Amino acid sequence: MRTVQSWFRDTAGGLPARFWYLWTGTLINRLGSFVLVFLAIYLTQERGFSASQAGLVIGLWGVGGAVGTTIGGTLADRW
């Protein structure tokens, strides 16, 4: 019977190190995005923000992310 470790090595062991760096970075990024749910709870429960104010803060975070991604993509293409 094959072990989980041998199955994993056979399945993904041949992938280059760059793949694993990108995969790990993507995983960390996605886990960081999950924090927004707790940010809304923190702002309303602990800091006394109204639901509208907390929504505005999180919305501004989204706008900043969209603008940052656009600028970063343009700079990456030019560089």
% of the chain at pLDDT higher than 90: 63
> Quick check: 36 and 65 in contact, CB under 8 A?
no
Give me the mean pLDDT over the 45-58 stretch. Answer: 96
Distances (CA, A) of 5 to 12, 21, 57, 78: 11, 20, 44, 42
pLDDT band at 1 (very low <50, low <70, confident <90, very high): low
* pLDDT value at 50 more than 70: yes
Assigned token pair, 3: 């072990």
pLDDT tens-digit readout, 17-36:
899 899 999 999 888 888 88
* pLDDT value at 65 more than 80: yes
User: Rounded distance, CA 44 to CA 73, Å?
Assistant: 34
> Quick check: 54 and 44 in contact, CB under 8 A?
yes
User: Rounded distance, CA 22 to CA 74, Å?
Assistant: 20
Average of per-residue pLDDT values in the chain: 90
